[in-house]
Amino acid sequence: MGDFDERAFRNAMGNFCTGVVIATGRLDNTPVGFAAQSFVSLSLEPPLVALCPGKSSTSWPKVRDSGSFCINILTADQQSVCDAMAKSGGDKFAAFEWTPGVSGSPVLAGVLGYVDCDLEAEHDAGDHTIAVGRVRDFSILRDDAPPLLFFRGSYGAFNPL
């Protein structure tokens, strides 16, 4: 794969529009988390979801060590939350209100909804891993807000056809 064009691949994959989530955990009572688009609903029986953390993430090992993670689905007016959670280091949660979900992981104020999970398995996958979560609790908190979308490196909101 010496001549594989990584930039072209990244740009091509950017054509797959996704929502944006914040994956959170709480280690030694400290909230930890990061922004992610690699979230997918995986299984109904049992209820499973998956998330793909990068191996360079400094937050994922802390979330992993907490044994659970909470997926916070962002609304279109929460780009500032995404920006803060995509930065490495510092207290990412200082500017935001949150309450603990059943696992103790933060549920951020104003999110469209959340899925709180126990970490069921983690599979190796190149420069990422595939983290599988068993759903313990979930809720949709806002019917009035469009989701934050990520497409070709830009943010947008959903417009029904």
Query: What residues make contact with ligand FMN under the rule CB under 6 A?
Result: 20, 34-38, 52-54, 57-60, 82, 85-86, 88, 150
Give me the least distance between CB of 92 and ligand FMN, in Å please.
7
Give me the least distance between CB of 73 and ligand FMN, in Å please.
13
Q: Please identify, using beta-carbon distances, which residue of 7 and 143 lies nearer to ligand FMN.
A: 7
Q: Please identify, using beta-carbon distances, which residue of 35 and 108 lies nearer to ligand FMN.
A: 35
Question: Of 127, 78, 117, which is closest to residue 98 (Cα–Cα)?
Answer: 78
Residue type for position 112: L
Give me the least distance between CB of 77 and ligand FMN, in Å please.
15
Q: Please identify, using beta-carbon distances, which residue of 103 and 129 lies nearer to ligand FMN.
A: 129
DSSP string for 92-146: TTTT--EEE-TTS-EEETT-SEEEEEEEEEEEEETTEEEEEEEEEEEEE--SSSP
Cα distance between residue 24 and residue 17, in whole Å: 22
